[in-house]
Amino acid sequence: MKAVILCAGLGRRLGEVIKPLLKVGGREIIYRTIKILQDNGIDEFVVVVNPRNREYIEEFLKRHGFKYRIVENPHPERGNGYSFYLAKDFVDERFVLVMGDHVYDEEFVKLALKGEGLICDRKPLYVDIDEATKVIVKDGRVERIGKDLKDWCCADTGFFILNKDVFRFVELDKDKIKLSEIIERAKVRVTEVSGLFWMDVDTREDLKKVNRILIRRSYKGKGDGFISRHINRKVSLRLSEIFVNRITPNIATVISFIVGVLSALLNFVSIPIAGLIYQISSILDGIDGEIARASMRVTRFGGWLDSILDRYVDFLFLLTLSFVSSLSNLEWMIACLAMFGSFMVSYTTERYRGAFFRDFYIDFKFRFPGKRDERIFLIFVFCLLSFMGKFVIVALLIIIAVLTNLRVLATIYVVARRKGNL
């Protein structure tokens, strides 16, 4: 099955930019559309462009290895109806039609591909309905379509599953007809896919809004501790909005690691400042995952690297904090238990994934305290109180040692119970 993507617009409201190549959520709009369609069975793309933009769009498609055919619209001023008409000789009997300036999430696309005709939304949550193209439906088909309709039934999502015979409604007026007029003439069927994410990008405000929504939707909450849910994510999501189109997830991971190592070294200078920077590194640690999910760059390597570097940071911080606190032999044993317990908290959940090929935090609603974000915040608070004397650091190490090792035992218990080994 093929898909036609209309990319011949002039983009005047955005300063005559190439809208399909604008980045939202760390990826170009056309990349997001093609990748999601490709992952759901669409194997070839007919991309209609204007000659001015052909070189840039074709180079982009070639670089990413997509299977495509470029069709030029030498008269982009004639609008999307003419662009659509130019694709008629390059599609199969049934094909997908999408707009090059629309953004869709995968759940929307999966449901849309099961439908027929115009995909409409009766409950559009993300678009300005005054600017949207509205549809009046009668007997399951398009009766009227346009932006100025008063008593409309649903919003046009810019996503269509069409048959080739729709082109016979274009022939007489192909040089000036609008796509909406073609759809209305053809009385195409209507399939409802409501309440899911889709947006068209026409203005700078739309770009900012789409970017923000994609980042917010990238936060799943799975596996977050109390501090991440209520403090860290409120900051990291805002930072991700700023940096998602500027850095890759792996760069975000390295930045968080460098800040974490810096916090450990700062223990030799000032324990309160070190604790503050450590907490900042914990906030930054959420950015790589948010950017990865929003920009469709989630990889096993990225998650693996992040986990390894986090362990180094946690070990270095507790090690340097213990070193500068002039601990006794007994206190050093407690410090070692705290370091070991901190390592084992993540190790037990990672080994669960390795042993059972499942995510621990999906299988278990586990609320026992001691996750990394909670430990770091606790360390941050105690570091701020370190001026009161060494006993504050010793008390912290005792709490971390007890809390983490109890969490490990609790993890073993709930897994053993679920798997029938108790």
How would residue 172 be classed by pLDDT, with cut points 50, 70 and 90? low
How many domains does the chain divide into?
2
Distance (Å, whole) CA 281 – CA 284:
5
Q: Are residues 110 and 181 in the same domain?
A: yes
Same domain, 107 and 254: no
Span 79-100, pLDDT tens digits: 899 999 999 999 989 999 999 9
Task: Please indicate, yes or no, if residue 216 is contained in any of the structural domains.
Answer: no
Structural domain of 49: 2-211
The per-residue pLDDT for 15 is 74
Pairwise CA distance, residues 284 & 296, whole Å? 19
Percent share of the chain, pLDDT over 90: 87
Nearest to 392 by CA among 296, 327, 336, 333: 327
Q: Is residue 217 part of a domain?
A: no
CB-neighbour burial class of residue 136 (10 A; exposed 0-12, middle 13-18, buried 19+): middle
Q: Taking 80 as the threshold, does the pLDDT of residue 30 lie above it?
A: yes
Residue that is last in its domain, among 211, 237, 265:
211
Same domain for 12 and 148, yes or no, is yes
Q: Is 147 inside any structural domain?
A: yes
Rounded distance, CA 83 to CA 363, Å? 49
Kind of pairing, strands 102-104 and 44-49? unpaired
Residues 234 and 377 in one domain: yes
257 plus 386 within the same structural domain: yes
**What pLDDT is attached to residue 10?**
74
Residues 252 and 340 in one domain: yes
The overall pTM is greater than 0.85: yes
Taking a C-beta distance cutoff of 8 angstroms, is the pair 66, 34 a contact? yes
Among candidate residues 178, 211, 244, the one where a domain is terminated: 211
pLDDT tens digits for range 351-378: 999 999 999 998 998 889 999 999 999 9
Q: What is the CATH number of the domain that holds 149?
A: 3.90.550.10
**CATH code (residue 241):** 1.20.120.1760
CA 88 to chain centre: 34
